[in-house]
Structure 1
């Protein structure tokens, strides 16, 4: 989404940089090469953000670059394609294909709505047939696109989740995160902010169930409570049905707050029939556990062009779980993990630079233990 000021409570703690620093403009080894080496400083035991999250490295290699005349930035969603390559969506109507080792763009397709207008694309899922499900927070909407960007389908959206006056959602506060749950039968989208009339910080997670025809029909809805002042820019499903949830905020003159949570919607109430979430309605919200506040990650020599509580931080917005090993099936992120890697997922996040000179397109390569 566009850069906005959200009054968030920040802990301005900067973790000391380790001796192993990743250069801010270095492409370095990409996702397929970032596994730890026994005895090196770049193992899950080093670069700790918390007991559950480690930072392998970061890369600014795509910052302020272009590809075939298209600005490579404004990245808001990531996904692993069926062949192991990366897909990335820009909120300025571009769908990129990235090399999994170098992050270099290898393809780009333009996105537009049914009338040809640009999309504010935010979430991205590569479906099992290779088509792309992309959320737009303008209406909001979820559309199925071909690899070339053509619209193939559009999913139904509950009226209440539409932007006012059609619904109760605030502008730039609708579908940000998008993920396909294990088994590929359930799609989940996260609203970024609360609907008008819902308690502040209580956002809705909407799901769809795959139909026999291969499309998706509206299904259960859940309530998730964010930390004060924060929104939800991204969600990613794990193999056991739990979710990784990013929470993010921005305070002018201070910088970004970015927190990573483990969330479990499996015992939450279905809120489809609850018009207003007030906190007094007996609704069981999605349970969450803090994995890390990224302000506590080592900065590894990163620099920031605007005030940040940790120079590593920026407007983090996209996230995907990577295969554990080169050639591993994207739908089995933990497959083939042995030794000291066991129990750690490889997670890639990216910042949306808003095509702003004082922001950075930055990839963070994380190890997450859930």
Structure 2
């Protein structure tokens, strides 16, 4: 391999045949990958890859993946929460470039959410403030910083603010999800921004979303029909991760932007369980710590990569290994037959 290639790509991979927009890395020639299978009537897992686990690229650790987005030219953008923005080959996942991210003063970010805007610039959240910044195509320069309502900044819980970011169909509305409720709230908030005539974004409606008990929102991405796909995630020591995929509908939900606190009686976003990923077939995946299903890890990233036969959505997920020997950087290919 060349100097710019990933070192120590692991030989243990389990993948089904999937579209070029998703994973196409294959396992050892002598071992057939386990068959894909259903996680629920709506969701099936078609493969996984540990190829990037504990690797480096151009001297940068490839891991801590907290967000994914489809990029131009059939590539993927992958965001590390240690202030690194990777470009990955959409077929093989091989890194093609990496850019260090920083704020306006050159300090690193707790970067968690990612959107590739229609002009190719990157919108990146940081949990610290919380904040959303726009970066140029190189990732080297901050072009803009979106206004964030003071209530979200003043009452966000530490390390539990803007975890997810997505652009709704049509490109006019941006949505960020809070990982946990604000201090004093009973539910999570989903904040939106509307694109202005100049191309920037201004704060708009806000909605309440009730995550399951002991779970937070680790990622949100828009489906082509305008509904949201929401990843809820939690961790219990000695047991492992809980990861559930929901479809959520904002129509009919009440605008909570003027509410000091959100409690009972508020019309929240309606959600429907698509799959508990513990119910997926394990595909023979290894695990370095107790898990209800060895396929699971700390899944934080998600993007829609296209459509398959009969309109099924292709979904790519990735886990954040926290640069820990007990966790894995793992990519998952899922198929959603319906989000209705």
What is the TM-score normalised by the length of structure 1? 0.83
Q: Please show how residues 23-34 of structure 1 align to structure 2 within 5 Å.
A: 24-25=12-13, 32=20
Which residue does 1:213 correspond to in 2? 198
Is it true that 1:77 corresponds to 2:78 in the alignment? no
1:140 aligns with 2:125: no
Matched residue, 1:49: 39
Quote the offset at 1:323 in angstroms: 2.0
Residue in structure 2 matched with residue 295 of structure 1 by the alignment: 278
Cα distance, 1:240 vs. partner? Answer: 1.5
Matched, 1:224 2:192: no
Check the 8 A contact 2:115/2:122 in 1, yes or no: yes
Give ranges in structure 1 of 5+ residues lacking alignment.
1-22, 325-336
Mapping for residues 1-370 of structure 1, pairs under 5 Å: 24-25=12-13, 32=20, 47-149=37-139, 150-162=141-153, 167-199=154-186, 202-279=187-264, 282-324=265-307, 337=308, 341-369=309-337, 370=339
Please tell me whether the aligned partners of residues 119 and 136 of structure 1 are also in contact (alpha carbons under 8 angstroms).
yes
Q: How much has 1:171 moved relative to structure 2?
A: 0.5
Task: Please tell me whether the aligned partners of residues 18 and 46 of structure 2 are also in contact (alpha carbons under 8 angstroms).
Answer: no
CA distance in 2, matches of 1:263, 1:224: 9
Shift of 1:239: 1.5
CA–CA distance in structure 1, aligned partners of residues 23 and 288 of structure 2: 30
Task: Report which stretch shifted further, 225-234 or 78-87.
Answer: 78-87
Is the 2:14–2:283 Cα contact (8 Å) retained in structure 1? no
Separation in structure 1 between the aligned mates of residue 240 and residue 325 of structure 2, nearest angstrom: 15
Check conservation: 2:63, 2:323, Cα contact below 8 A: yes
Unaligned 5+ segments in structure 2 are 1-10, 25-32
After superposition, the Cα gap between the structure-2 partners of 1:27 and 1:107, relative to the gap in structure 1 and judged at 3 Å, is farther
Paired with 1:267 and 1:107, the residues of 2 have a C-alpha distance of 42
Cα deviations by residue, 1:119-170 (Å, 9 ceiling, x for unpaired): 01001100000000001101000000012111000000011111xxxx1111
Relative to structure 2, which stretch is displaced further, 77-86 or 283-292? 77-86
Aligned residue pair count: 321
Confirm or deny: 8 A CA contact 1:24 1:58 kept in the other structure. no
Between 1 and 2, higher relative CO (CA 8 Å, sep ≥ 6) is seen in 1
Aligned to 1:15: none
Change (3 A) 1:352 1:135: same
Runs (4+) of structure 1 exceeding 3 A deviation are 23-31, 33-36
Contact 2:15/2:23 (<8 A) preserved: no
